[in-house]
Structure 1
Amino acid sequence: MHQLTVLYPEPVDRAAFEAHYRSVHLPLCAQLPGVQDISFAIGIAEPGAGPYFAVFHARFFDEAALGAALSSPEGKAVQADVANYATGGSTVLTYAVESLAAEK
């Protein structure tokens, strides 16, 4: 598995970020070819209490699938949309994911 994580610092307007993110950006993300799972959290810290306001995760089968998704027309649309809501910018990380079975 390969994961894409996006960390979002505090935006200028939390409500505007969330409205655009939920109604426009996440539906674009759901169209990424090869995406296997998407998860996110908004409002993970109170204003001034932490470095990040929101986090996004998307999993792909492997690095090649992630690269293909990002270079696709859908991936380019996702990337172009970030400036429309992420007034605090964003940090993008991609990495291989390992799993560990939990003991029961």
Structure 2
Amino acid sequence: MVLLNAAAGIWSLQAHRNKMFRVSTLSWLTAIAQIMVLAHLFSGVALASSENIEVPKFHLLYWSAAALSVGVIYGYRNQLENRRYLLYGFAGLFLMGLGIRSMILGPI
């Protein structure tokens, strides 16, 4: 999840500067990276609830922020049509940072 969002973020920022990078593969990579965030969240919730694991509050904070961010990114994509690649670029790097921070907190 972290590597996909990093790749999508860097690629999107390059696509903003250079039209040569604006290919359909970028859209697919961005979509897969954002879906991975939600899949990671739902699998973590399912595991924690099935095993009766007490989840640290910071994990809840970071993953709920990541899920809300994906929704905000999806919601603003049409309003920022001329800056869509900047939105996806910085959002990918932001989601990457949330994932790294969550890993630093340690396992559940």
Task: Please report the TM-score for the alignment, with normalisation by the length of structure 1.
Answer: 0.34
Task: Please report the TM-score for the alignment, with normalisation by the length of structure 2.
Answer: 0.33
